[in-house]
Amino acid sequence: MSPTEQTATAETTDDAAGQQAPAIVEAGDQQFKIFSYHEAFSQYVALAKEEQDSRDLVYSEMIFQPFRQNAFHDGGGSEFEDLGVFNPPQNGLSMQSTLDALAGKNEDFQSAIEKALIKSAELLPGGDKTVHIFPATPADGSGMALNAEVMILWVHPTLSAEELEQTVAHEYFHLIDMEKGVFESATADSTLLEATIMEGKAVAFALLNYPETDLSWLSNEDGKVTEQVHNLFLEQKDSYDLQVWGDFLNGNPAKGIPPYANYIIGHEIMQSFLLNHPGLSVDEWLKMTAEEILQGSGYGE
């Protein structure tokens, strides 16, 4: 298959574990397997009503273990079960309402994911990946690159197809960054600067795919990230302390740091860098270190 050929097909049979078989998407030599856990969650919600005292065990057996089998064929992945994002939903009635509302949007979401994967792979090819779609409440909707091969998407009924496409492109970049860039592992093993530039790069990549994306939440026109916060960031940029990273992600009013300051700063640095180096390809700046990006941006001067 030539690099410009893409196909998307869905298998219709279920595997032995009762999980829906994945949709298969191909972009050039790259293959994506897209797993939906909508039906698994429907079964979980029904069973959890009867097994409330063992809800965690039921969730592990019906949701996490099938996900682990789909994502890690070597028996790995058990270390991720304790992540907060894999906690069972606290309100079964709310989850059932979410599932009912999602039923009419799943086809559109599937199409949006496939288109975004193909578009992203055309711009920045990589290895084979798996994508896992979990239903979520609006407060929990997001995406995550778990490692270099596994992307997780939490979708909710109020999510638009355009927002989902942008999220897929963002998380796809993280996958390729871990595959062949300079970001190798979890945020806990990164400095504040490295984690911040990682996000700035992913936002920049998503913008290349979807330049009309509304990024008003990353704007600092109102000056919420003050000069004092910028200076504090530069002072602490080499810190590995998760509390420091948490201050810039979640905000710390005592220090004057607003929520998502790391995203805002990372976006500023990366956009400044790209303005200074318009001839660089994505593959070139993908492989540049956070410190190289910072120095090339002129940020802080």
Amino acid symbol at 113 = I
Strand-pair partners of 8: 25
Q: What is the pTM of this model?
A: 0.90
Residue-wise pLDDT tens digits, 36-86: 999 999 999 998 888 777 888 999 999 999 999 999 977 889 988 888 888
Mean pLDDT of 251-268: 96
End-to-end CA, the chain: 49
**59, 48 Cβ separation under 8 angstroms:** yes
Banded pLDDT at 19 (limits 50, 70, 90): low
Length of the chain: 301
- 């400044």: which residue's tokens? 272
Q: Can you give the three-state secondary structure of 57-97, one letter per residue?
A: HHHHHHHHHHHHHHHCCCCCCHHHCCCHHHCCCCCHHHHHH
Q: Apex CA 168: angle with CA 170 and CA 90, to 5°? A: 105
Mean pLDDT of 267-284: 96
Residue-wise pLDDT tens digits, 139-198: 666 899 999 999 999 999 999 999 999 999 999 999 999 999 888 766 668 999 999 999
